[in-house]
Amino acid sequence: MQPLITILTPTIGKNSLTRLMNSLDKQSVPFQHILLWDDLRHDNYLYPNPVTLKPSNPYDLNSSNRYSVVIPGSFVQGQACGSALRSIGLMLANTNFVTFLDDDCWIEPCHLESLLNIVKDKNWGYCRRKIWGNEEHCFGVDNFESVGDSVDKKVPNEMVDNNCMIFSRRFGTSGAVLYRETLEYNDDRLFYKFLKDHAGNPGITKNATVNQICPNKLRPMFIKNCTRI
């Protein structure tokens, strides 16, 4: 079957990548998964845990619906870890719809299908996410930050996290420059504003179908504000 959606994952090979791939294999719709490897294998500055998944050849992880692109040299720009890699992935995608999933995430079996359902007559949309301290400890649902212009927003920046968005490829390619050039930890805020300004009204699931491990420096905020489940 032809893939309906492309998933873009920038990675340096954290061990959690295996968990993400396992969750993708449980999806109910055909997809294409592009792993965007930074050639510099080091611990991400936000994640002090050791990087343990270091295949001798990233292409060993390829399959019929997954392939690796290794970018020569480090593509980490300032505080924008992964942003430049995402820009390359946006130009590689060849399905009508695209989403991001970082290698610290995993998703519910209904995730891709629920995203595609909300964009049948729209150009973009988003879901919500559960935030975890580790695989066993869930802080709760993010009903306060990555919620767009919802009245539930409790942060100064209006945004939706990269991992919660779905969007048509043509808006992804138009917005790729935002990911390529930023030096700040703000690529999702920039792209959210671009979509809001140019892509019409979004579809919204309001369901938390993305699970994400919280960066250490953001834990106090999420522990305080997440909706307990």
Instruction: Spell out the domains of the chain, with CATH numbers in brackets.
Output: 5-225 (3.90.550.10)
Report whether pLDDT(27) > 80: yes
Q: How far is residue 98's CA from residue 13's CA, in Å, rounded to a whole number? A: 22
Contact 19, 111 (CB under 8 A): no
Distance of CA 43 to the CA centre of its chain: 19
Radius of gyration of the chain (CA): 16
Contacts of 8 (CB under 8 A, 6+ apart): 34, 36, 86, 89, 90, 93, 98, 99, 100, 101
Contact 40, 72 (CB under 8 A): no
Report whether pLDDT(102) > 80: yes
Identify the CA nearest to 47 among candidates 213, 225, 221, 184. 213
Residue that wins the pLDDT comparison between 91 and 206: 91
Report whether pLDDT(52) > 70: no
- pLDDT band per the 50, 70, 90 thresholds, residue 42: very low
Identify the CA nearest to 172 among candidates 86, 81, 103. 86
Tens of pLDDT, residue by residue over 144-168, are 999 999 988 888 889 999 999 999 9
Q: How far is residue 198's CA from residue 217's CA, in Å, rounded to a whole number? A: 33
Q: What mean pLDDT do residues 180-195 have? A: 95
SS3 per residue for the chain: CCCCEEEEEEECCCCCHHHHHHHHCCCCCCEEEEEEEECCCCCCCCCCCCCCCCCCCHHHHCECCEEEEEECCCCCECCECCHHHHHHHHHHCCCCEEEECCCCEEECCCHHHHHHHHCCCCCEEEEEEEEECCCCCEEEECCCCCCCCCCCCCCCCCCCCHHHEEEEHHHHHHHHHHHHHCCCCCHHHHHHHHHHHHCCCCEEEEEEEEEEECCHHHHHHHHHHCECC
